[in-house]
Structures are given as structure tokens and as C-alpha cells.
Amino acid sequence: DAGVTQSPTHLIKTRGQQVTLRCSPKSGHDTVSWYQQALGQGPQFIFQYYEEEERQRGNFPDRFSGHQFPNYSSELNVNALLLGDSALYLCASDTDGQISGANVLTFGAGSRLTVL
Amino acid sequence: GIQVEQSPPDLILQEGANSTLRCNFSDSVNNLQWFHQNPWGQLINLFYIPSGTKQNGRLSATTVATERYSLLYISSSQTTDSGVYFCAVVISGGYNKLIFGAGTRLAVHP
């Protein structure tokens, strides 16, 4: 049973470029969340997708956008890249409906983005 | 918003030693998880423990929700325990949005 898979694993971009990161959730999961982890810090919540819509969003600018497809996979897009966007981007999945947050999130291995 | 504080920030141990990691949170939570992040960045869930005590091999965790803290115990540490340990919480109505602490960086030397 495959867990959460992310691609690419590493990538290098220059300032002002755009990047797309991809995530396939764990089998049986329908909700995808994205987190940004800067070096030496804990992950920070970017947004969450369920039923192909953004359901929750953290404190990130509109340059960060996403999409969820009918097969539950998801993309994270970042436009007009800044040096400060360099980070490990983590995708996590779980099953919906638990407003109480009773589900255990499963994380992918991440996509490490370097902006030069 | 809710604050999640972990201590100590760094910990160095000799193989075989025991340790206790602490997580304090500033508001009531519906969900608390402990994660281990390995040197390659993979976050592995260790415990889902909004309250009570759980054990898994050499690891155990206790959450006292009324006093807003959780403890992770590592016994007979091994070099493979090295990495960063994160505590993360979900608040009421949070749709499983995790709020992470800054982590405890553990290095276990042979």
C-alpha cells in the first residue's frame, strides 16, 4: 500500500519563476494538506483541499495556490518565487469529515525547493 | 492563535541513555501528535495522543490535556533515534490543520 508520494524530490529555481509540486495521497484518503518547512523550523500549514476545493488556508500570500483533482491528487503552485520560498514542501493526506481532527495525518517525503 | 512550545531545543545523548521531551500548548486541543523527522526529511507519526498514555516499544507518550502539556519518553536510546522530534496539535474546528512546535533536535552518539 503506497503512502503519500510527492514529486519532484528536489528542484532549483530562480527568483521570479513559477513552480508546481505534485502529491498523490495515501490510498483511501481524500483530503490533502500542504505544509512549508523552512530550514530549522517546524512545518507551517499552507492550505487544505477536500472535494477539489480549498477548505482552509494558513497565513500565506496569494502567490501560493493549489488544486485537487477528482482522483484526490493535488498540486501546489508558487508564482513569482522569492528567495524566502526556499524550503521543504510537505504534503499530507487523511480521510475527511473529522472536524474534531481525530484522524492521523500521513506525510510524504517532501519536495525540497531551492530558489537562487 | 495557539502557541506550541517544545523543550529542550537540542539534546545530545550517549547510546543507551533515557530522555524526556516536553510539549506545552497554550489552549485546549482536539488532537496531539508526535512526529519524528529523519535526516532525509520524512515525518513519521509516532503517537496520536490527545490525552492519556501510550507506549510503543522504547517510546512512550503522555498527554495531560487539562494542564496543556505532553511528554515523549525515549528509553535506551539508539543512534537511529537521532533526528528532530515535533509535537503538533489541532484545535477545535481545525479540520485536522496541524500546528507544529519548533522541534527538539536529538543526536544520539555511539
For residue range A1-58, list pLDDT tens digits in order.
579 999 999 999 999 999 999 999 999 899 999 999 999 999 999 999 999 999 999 9
Element (H, E) at B32: strand B31-37
The single-letter code of the amino acid at B76 is S
How many Cα atoms occupy the beta-carbon half-sphere of B50 within 13 Å?
A: 16
- The shortest C-alpha distance from B82 to chain A (Å) reads 15
Asked if A58's CB is within 8 angstroms of B97's CB, the reply is yes
Chain A residues interacting with chain B (CB cutoff of 8 angstroms) = 31, 33, 35, 37, 41-45, 48, 55-56, 58, 88, 90, 92, 94, 98-107, 109-110, 112
Count CB neighbours of A51 within 10 A.
11
Q: Is B102 on the interface with A (CB under 8 A)?
A: yes
Q: Is A89 left (phi over 0), alpha (psi -120 to 50) or beta?
A: beta
- The shortest C-alpha distance from B33 to chain A (Å) reads 8
pLDDT tier for residue B95 given thresholds of 50, 70 and 90: confident
C-alpha–C-alpha distance, residues A62 and A37, integer Å: 18
pLDDT at A21: 98
Q: Is B51 on the interface with A (CB under 8 A)?
A: no
The residue among A86, A90, A99 with the most chain B CBs within 10 A of its CB, best to mutate, is A99
